[in-house]
Amino acid sequence: MRTVYISLPMAGHEDTVHERYLNAIREVFDLFKNEEIEIFGPINIKNFDDTGLTVEREHDWAWYIGHDIETLLRCNTIFMTQGYLLSKGCRIELAAAQEAGMTVVYGKDANASLR
């Protein structure tokens, strides 16, 4: 089974988190359509309401990134999304995935900046 961690910029782009996350899920399923797939993402993705606006945080950034890395390291693939190069969290996730020898997949617009 392919387990895929979706790495996406969140801070400063809260208004589009849900839309970008759902788009990434669709892209992953399209890329690996002949495989059984399980998707994972940042643990605080559930801390955004249906409009994509951020809700009150319970912990600081270090706590969230630590738990995100824990989730990431249980996967065998990381999927990098648009704007990852400008996101400290995404760059940390990518470095951890590379050090762990995971498969790295870049989304179709991964190298583009977020608007």
Q: What is the 3-state secondary structure (H, E, C) of the chain?
A: CEEEEEECCCCCCHHHHHHHHHHHHHHHHHHCCCCCEEEECCHHHHHECCCCCECCCCCCHHHHHHHHHHHHCCCCEEEECCCHHHCHHHHHHHHHHHHCCCEEEECCCCCCCCC
pLDDT digit string (tens) for 9-43?
Answer: 887 777 778 888 889 999 999 999 999 999 998 86
- Domains in the chain: ranges and CATH: 2-106 (3.40.50.450)
pLDDT digit string (tens) for 78-112?
Answer: 999 998 998 999 999 999 999 999 999 999 887 77
Q: Model's pTM, two decimal places?
A: 0.87
pLDDT on residue 5: 95
